[in-house]
Amino acid sequence: VTRDIAIDLGTASTLAAVPGREIVVNEPTVVAMERVTARVVAVGRESWKAAAADPERVQVSWPFRNAPVSDFAVTERIIATVLKRASAPRITKPRALFSVPSAATEVERRALEEAAFAAGVRDVWMIGEPLAAALGAGLPIGEPRGSCVVDVGGAATEVAVISMGGVVAQHHVRVGGFDMDDLVQRLLRREYGMAVGERTAEGIKTQIGSASPLEEEVKAEVKGREIDTGAPKSIIITSEEVRAALSDAVRIIVEAVRQVLSETPPELAHDVLDNGITLCGGGGRLQGLGERIRLETSIPVRVTDRPGETVALGALKALGSLDAMAAAGIVWRRSA
């Protein structure tokens, strides 16, 4: 049985990791709900199947996209599903370590905690996302050196400089992968009078989206429908067009990095200059984003091996030495 579990309940993806088995859950943070009753009928990937089978009655939504942990019942249901899929149901009295955005308010943390208890977690622990990301990236967070992590998620980007187990400078902007998808949709509407779904827009972004020029610029066919007539329509779009469309989001991310570096004490900023910036989060996989940050800060950038899993893997690492991490103030326990 699983007793300890690390959970990263992101706006775009939900991950869970357990000691000895690493990542055991990695699902989109979507639920399928009955339109009329708001009853949750499916959680994660299978939500789309549920909606496709009965679109009149069931719709898919991203419950945390605009407001974290806004709906208690939905949050509880998602956590309960994660526990079940990770083989850590209520009966095992699981102890869970949640990664939380540094911008989360006490009200939001309390809501997450309550939902976790309601879902069957016996013991709720939390870790700030920048520290979890740094741990997952293998950075020397306990040393008196400065390490910089940039986590580009679905709804937000967090930038932090960490030293001696604490965050010394940070910035949080509400721009992430979802906003890039919106920018792609807007481009298609504006330039081609064409509408596509959010998952099509995301596919264009991940396939030909970029933040700096590609060695070989590419094209992609996009299928959607004409806004005026509703008729099916297909066009060819170039990587240059998509990059131009994404530039508003990319610029805000780059500015957040600059801001944090400018607020970092000089010695620690020097460490970052020497050791580089570490980029993670699903959005950190955008082609050329590391290169763009490097160009604009003159600091080398490394993307972690598994960007989308870095925070969850860091939380898992913290879970492995919870007492020491608690003593160092890196994790904290929420009282039942």
Nearer to ligand ATP, 35 or 45 (CB): 45
Is 301 an interacting residue with respect to ligand ATP (CB under 6 A)? no
Cβ-based burial of 97 (10 A; exposed 0-12, middle 13-18, buried ≥19) = buried
Q: Of 11-19, 105-113, 260-268, 290-298, which part binds ligand ATP (CB under 6 A)?
A: 11-19
Q: Where are the alpha helices (DSSP H) in the chain?
A: 46-53, 72-85, 106-119, 129-136, 177-192, 198-208, 239-263, 266-275, 289-297, 310-320, 322-327
Is 159 an interacting residue with respect to ligand ATP (CB under 6 A)? no
Binding mask 173-192 for Mg ion (x = CB under 5 A): --------------------
Give the residue nearest to ligand ATP (CB): 177
Number of chain positions touching Mg ion (CB under 5 A): 2
By a kind-dependent CB cut-off of 5 to 8 A, residue 94 interacts, out of Mg ion, ligand ATP, none, with none
| Separation between Cα atoms, residue 311 and residue 11, nearest integer Å | 13
Is 12 an interacting residue with respect to ligand ATP (CB under 6 A)? yes
| Separation between Cα atoms, residue 14 and residue 11, nearest integer Å | 8
| Separation between Cα atoms, residue 132 and residue 141, nearest integer Å | 10
| Nearest-approach distance from CB 271 to ligand ATP, in angstroms | 25
For Cα atoms 122, 128, 133, give the angle at the middle one, nearest 5 degrees. Answer: 115
Cβ-based burial of 291 (10 A; exposed 0-12, middle 13-18, buried ≥19) = middle
Is 120 an interacting residue with respect to ligand ATP (CB under 6 A)? no
- Answer for which of 135, 178, 188, 301 binds ligand ATP (CB under 6 A) is 178
| Nearest-approach distance from CB 43 to Mg ion, in angstroms | 18
- Answer for which of 28, 68, 146, 153 binds Mg ion (CB under 5 A) is 153
By a kind-dependent CB cut-off of 5 to 8 A, residue 156 interacts, out of Mg ion, ligand ATP, none, with ligand ATP
Closest CA to 133 of 16, 5, 281, 273: 281
Contact residues: Mg ion, CB under 5 A: 10, 153
